[in-house]
Structure 1
Amino acid sequence: MIWRFGLYDNTFDPLWMTDWALAAVLLLPMVFGALGAVFRPSRLLPVALACLPILLAGGVMVLDYQQVGLLRWQWEVAGIELTLRLSGLSALMLLITQWTAAAVAVYTPGYLRLTLPNASVRWLWPLMGLLVSALSLIWLAADLLILYAALEAMGLAAVGMLLLSGKSAALQAGMRYLLLALVGSLAFLLGVALLMSQWGTLDLIALEARVEPEPLTWVAAALIGAGLALKAALFPLHGWLTPVHENAWTPVSALHAALVIKASLYILMMLWGILLPETLFAPRLVAWLGMLAIVWGGLVAWRADSLKTLIASSTVGQLGYLMVAFPLVLGPNIAPLPLSLAWDGFWLHLMGHALAKAAMFMAAGNLIIATGESSLKALAGTSRRLPLSLLIFGMAAVTLMGLPPSAGFTAKWLLLQSMVLTQQWLAVAALLAGTLLTAAYVFRVFRYSFDETAPRHDYQPLAPGMDAIALCLAVAAFALGLLAHFPLGLLHGGGG
């Protein structure tokens, strides 16, 4: 399975233009973020213009990959080899990151203008730029040193963005998140130190060739898994997630739920594929916890009184679908067909969820801005005045429910086929139960929204483009399901 992450040797060098594109992808977000701290843009046009060269650089890298296959960069710094690789999977994750982050960045000026007209938010832009650069580095990293550095940079940027509101509840939730993130980092670092001491390398290809199934490897895998599970808010280590999103600004919540927690999951899947290639217990344990996560997250969302609590709790359940797929992707003795189906379904669901969750948080943020309230009961009567925001929320929910023609449907169909072929009937039941629970809490939102007996309240108008940007993300989640053969074709190209 390791070749799917691009961890194999190749004979092709990147084109000269790709070297410049790589520098742009990793450095321009931080450069433009620093400029945003100085000029503090209040309109979406300058932000959109700043995003354009980053998107073009990402497109150049993907086109180069399609021409020559796996791309590899390697440098030696102070006797330590640093390696980056662009595979089909990392190319897809890079594109999802850039386009989602660009949508959030373009959405942000209007949001800040309406909610924080007099506040100083200069630090939001450099933190956002650092976050995007760190995420891009995670998708490209092929050694443990770069992975750790990028993971820490991403975590610190995420915590900093969550603390920006300055409210006491936000500070309390953010500091709890920081403490737990540091605990996760410590566990991850201890696991890496054990691997380095035993096998003498940080390069993932060399580690895969040297590592052997023995107690020290299992302890290192357990430490790495626990640390990354805490950072990814995997059940039952998700307690910090809801308070964080309840008190965060909408652009911060959209970025965090769509991309930040996915990075830790990506690293976990890759490293366990190296350290536990023939182990059934660990992936099976994750799958059992995933089944519980699907039910627990759906029930908590169904009982939620706050719109943001509902969306954050649904993230716990949606991550459960990915956890259930672990033994299908990492377990031993899985036939090629169900393995391939599970692999495709896993990453398609992850990408569809990223787009849909960002759109859902933006739609929820628009509803909260317009009504001035965050409770579900305050949505009463919004169908008359905010139909587009509700439509976007519903379109994003269609992806989460897994209804056709969304990416959620295609991903769940692939996962269900793999589960049926391997006779994972409890996983099938959990998947279907999760779909019903998702429908239950989504329709609860609309039950309040279409309450025609509610009085007509005054609504604050939204800034231009706020609904349109969220709509683009929701439509992209649909397109990812209708045109799934394009991203899956790029994903299958990871083997060269």
Structure 2
Amino acid sequence: MIWRFGLLDSVFAPLAPSHWALACALVLPLLAGVVAACVPPRRTWPVLAVCVLVVACGAWLMMDAWQAGLLRWQWSVAGVTIALRLNGLGALLLVVSQCVAAAAALYAPGFLRLESPGPQARWLWPLMGVTLFALSLVWMAADLLTLYAGLELLSLAAVGMLVLSGKPAALEAGMRYLLLTLVGSLTYLMGVALIIGHWGELSLARLAEVVEPGAVAWIAASLLGAGLALKAALFPLHGWLTPVHQSAWTPVSALHAGLVIKASLYILILLWSILLPETHWAPRFVAWLGALGIVWGGLIAWRAQTLKTLVASSTVAQLGYLMVAFPLLLGPGVAPIAKSLAWQGFWLQLLGHALAKSAMFLAAGNLILATGESSLAGLAGTSRRLPLSLLIFGIASITLMGLPPSAGFTAKWLLLHAMVLEGHWVAVAALLIGTLLTAAYMFRMFRYSFDETAPRHHYQPLGRGMDAIALVLALAALVMGLLAHLPLALLQGGDA
């Protein structure tokens, strides 16, 4: 399956405009973050200008990857070779990451004006820049060194962003997250060291050629899997996820839940496709944990008393949908048509969830900011004054529930088709149960919001455009389902 990740030789050399687009996509977020730390933007237009330029560079690279099939870059720095590659999957992940990061950045000025956080707020900008830079490295890395650098930069930037609020609860949860992510990094690094020590290869493509099944591959895959599962909050290693979002700033939660945890999951399936191709027990074990995670995360969200707990807990269940697809992607004896359907459904689900979950966190932040209430009961009657925020929450819920015409519906249809073809009935049941649980906890939130008997509260007016930014993300997840043939065409490039 490694060719699906673009781990092969490129026929076409990138043209000069592609080099400039790559440099802009990587460097501009870092430069803009440093400038914004020195001169924090008070309006959205300077942020918008930078975001448009970054997304335009990502779109240029995506068009090049569409036409060429695969782009590769390679440099030698101090005797160390750094390699990047970009295929259809990487281009999709890159552009969606840029769009979600742009939405979080555009939302931040209005949020910070209402939150009045203090001087530490200036550090949000460089940390967001590092986050986008690290995500871009992860999506395009062609060697273990670049992959590790991107993952560690991403983890450290995420910890920094999550504690920026300075609240005692945020600091406590952030310190716990830091310790756990360091444990995950250490475990991951031990797996990488074992790979390099045994096979002596940094290049992912060459590693795929020399890896042999056996004890070393299994031990390395186990170490990598444990560390990355902890970083990705995969069930049952998800205990840190909800506490860090309780006190985190809204744009940070949108960026973290939408993108950061997805990077570790991407690396996990990439490296396991190299170390454990066509293996039986490891992907099935992950699938069983995913089925339990769907039920457990849905039940926790259904019983949640606060809005952020509901949204964060639902992430555990949504990640379970991706985990149950592991046997279809990595298992032996899977029919080519089922594997192709699972590949498309897996990444479409991940991309749709990234957009919808970011929109949901922004909408939830608007509700909390406007009312000053974080509990579901405290949000009673908000339909009178905040109909647009509730509408955005509802549109994002359509994708998470997997209702037509959203990306969630198309992705689940593809996954269910593959599962039925292979007779994975437990996975089919888990997806159906998860859909019902998602509807249950989403409608529970709306039951409170549309309580007409609730007393009228004082509402703080939101900043201009804060709802509009969240609405664009929610609609993007919806439109991705309607125009699913476009991302699927990029994903099918790996099948050529």
TM-score by length of 2: 0.99
Q: Work out whether 1:326 is the aligned partner of 2:336.
A: no
Question: What is the root-mean-square deviation of aligned Cα atoms in Å?
Answer: 0.9
2:147 is matched with 147
2:240 paired residue number:
240
Q: Which residue of 2 aligns with 1:80?
A: 80
1:6 and 1:495 in contact (8 A); partners too = no
CA contact (8 A) 1:7 1:205 kept: yes
DSSP-derived class of the 2:122 partner: coil
Contact kept? 2:299, 2:437, Cα under 8 Å? yes
Q: Give the length in aligned residue pairs.
A: 496
Unaligned runs of 5+ in 2: none
Which one-letter code corresponds to 1:94 in the other structure? L
CA offsets 1:180-239 (integer angstroms, 9 cap, x no match): 000000011000000101101110011000000010110000000000000000000000
Alignment partner, residue 26 of structure 2: 26
Give the match's secondary structure for 1:278.
coil
User: What is the match of residue 134 of structure 2?
Assistant: 134
1:487 is matched with which residue? 487
What's the counterpart of residue 394 of structure 1? 394
What letter corresponds to residue 9 of structure 2 in structure 1?
A: D
SS at match of 1:121: helix
Structure 2 residue aligned with 1:160: 160
The letter for the 1-side match of 2:349 is H
Q: What is the letter of the counterpart of residue 417 of structure 1?
A: H
- In structure 2, give the amino acid aligned to 1:454: A
Q: Distance in 2 between matches of 1:118 and 1:7?
A: 46
**Residues 117 and 165 of structure 2 are in contact (CA less than 8 Å); yes or no, is this contact kept in structure 1?**
no
1:343 and 2:351 aligned: no
SS state at 2:121 partner: coil
After the TM superposition, which of the residue ranges 200-209 and 61-70 deviates more from structure 2? Answer: 61-70
Contact 1:15 1:64 in 2 (8 A): no
Match of 1:51, as an amino acid? Answer: C
Q: Distance in 2 between matches of 1:176 and 1:120?
A: 21
Deviation at 1:63, TM superposition (A): 1.7
Could you tell which deviates more after superposition, 35-44 or 293-302? Answer: 35-44
Q: Does 1:438 align with 2:434?
A: no
Q: Displacement, 1:247?
A: 1.1
Q: Paired residue for 1:56?
A: 56
1:172 aligned residue = 172
User: For residues 346-383 of structure 1, what are the alpha-carbon distances to aligned partners after superposition, in whole Å with 9 as ceiling and x for unaligned?
Assistant: 00000000000000000000000010010000111101
C-alpha displacement at 1:39, in angstroms? 1.0
Following superposition, the deviation at residue 494 of structure 1 comes to: 3.4
Question: 2:189 is aligned with what amino acid?
Answer: L
Distance in 2, Cα, partners of 1:318 & 1:297 = 8
Which residue in 2 is equivalent to 1:311?
311
Instruction: State the SS of the aligned residue for 1:75.
Output: strand
Contact map agreement 2:120 2:164 (CA 8 A) in 1: no
Deviations 1:64-95 (A, max 9, x none): 22232210011222333211000110000001
Measure how far apart 1:240 and its partner are. 0.3
Distance apart, 1:281 and its partner CA:
0.5
Helix, strand or coil at the partner of 2:333: coil
Report the CA distance between 1:113 and its aligned residue.
0.5
Q: SS of the residue aligned with 2:82?
A: strand
Aligned to 1:414: 414
Q: SS of 1:122's equivalent?
A: helix
* Structure-to-structure mapping, 1:203-218, within 5 angstroms: 203-218=203-218
Partners of 2:238 and 2:316 within 8 A in 1: yes
Unaligned runs of 5+ in 1: none
Distance 1:221 1:395 in 2: 38
Cα deviation per residue 1:248-281 (whole Å; 9 max; x = unaligned)? 0000000000000000000001000000002110
Correspondence for 1:189: 189
Q: Secondary structure of 1:82's match? A: strand
User: Which residue in the other structure is 2:367 paired with?
Assistant: 367
Q: Does 1:36 align with 2:19?
A: no
236-245 or 71-80: bigger deviation: 71-80
Shift of residue 495, structure 1, vs aligned partner: 5.0
Paired residue secondary structure (1:74): strand
Q: Following the alignment from structure 1 to structure 2, what is the Cα–Cα distance between the partners of residues 235 and 165? A: 27
- Partners of 2:43 and 2:445 lie apart in 1 by 31
**1-structure distance, mates of 2:478, 2:267:** 27
1:448-471 C-alpha deviation (Å, 9 max, x unpaired):
001100111110010000000000
Distance between the aligned counterparts of 1:472 and 1:5, measured in 2?
29
Kept in 1: contact 2:66–2:87 (CA 8 A): no
Alignment partner of 1:207: what SS?
Answer: helix
User: Separation in 2 of the partners of 1:31 and 1:76?
Assistant: 23
Q: Is the 8 A contact 2:401 2:438 kept in 1?
A: yes
Does the 8 Å contact 1:100/1:355 carry over to 2? yes
How far is the alpha carbon of 1:491 from its aligned partner?
1.3
CA distance in 1, matches of 2:65, 2:174: 39
Verify the 8 A CA contact 1:70 1:494 in the aligned structure 2.
no
Shift in Å, 1:119: 4.6
Distance (Å, rounded) in 2 between the aligned partners of 1:309 and 1:95: 28
**CA deviations over 1:418-441 (Å, ceiling 9, x no partner):** 111001111111100000000000
Letter in 2 for 1:108: A
What residue in structure 2 maps to residue 463 of structure 1? 463
AA in 2 matched with 1:141:
A
Mapped to 2, the partners of 1:53 and 1:389 lie a distance apart of: 28
Mapped to 2, the partners of 1:409 and 1:234 lie a distance apart of 22
Runs ≥4 residues deviating over 6 A: none
Looking at structure 2, the residues matched to 375 and 301 of structure 1 have their Cα atoms a distance apart, in angstroms, of: 13
